Structure 1
Amino acid sequence: MNRDAVTQAASGGGSPVFISILCALLVMGLVQVVRPQLLWKMNRNLQRGWVKDPDATEPTSKGYAMQRVTGLLFLAVATWMLVQQI
């Protein structure tokens, strides 16, 4: 590992490209927490060619709750990473 890269990363001042990617990921995580059904609808359209019944793959209410929990964890990590970069 390059020492200069480590010290530059530790000193803050992250790349604007990386910060914008983190912001986009934060929006996706927020959608997963607020309306996980929207992500499933997008995924359902991707499954049409090779899944016999895409509507049968819809998660149950417990599945959506699990997606929300996972989204909250993802938001926490992505927010922490964004704060570290700014």
Structure 2
Amino acid sequence: MTQNPALQMASGLSEGNPFVILFLCVFLAVGLLQVVRPQLLWRFNRRLQTGWVRDPDGTEPTGRGYAAQRVTG
């Protein structure tokens, strides 16, 4: 019995590297966090900006900016 090549590829990926699966899960979690609560990521980003941005608080979006960010993803 011959299998579909796409099915063979999909079954081969299930035995893949666990680090790839972990990376994809973290990537998905950060993406969901970006849509649901972007303020949390912005607070983390603020700490990264303190060395080279004069006023990190001045670059934070307003409430409307966060709403637009949720709509656009």
The answer for the alignment partner of 2:9 in structure 1 is: 11
Query: 1:28-67 residue pairs with structure 2 within 5 A?
Result: 28-67=30-69
CA distance in 1 between partners of 2:52 and 2:42 (Å): 16
Q: CA deviation at 1:63?
A: 2.2
Alignment size in residue pairs: 65
Runs of 4+ displaced beyond 6 Å? none
The answer for the alignment partner of 1:68 in structure 2 is: 70
The answer for the alignment partner of 1:3 in structure 2 is: none
Gaps of 5+ in 2: none
Gaps of 5+ in 1: 1-6, 72-86
TM normalised by structure 2 equals 0.70
The structure with the largest alpha-carbon Rg is 2
Q: CA deviation at 1:70?
A: 4.3
TM normalised by structure 1 equals 0.61
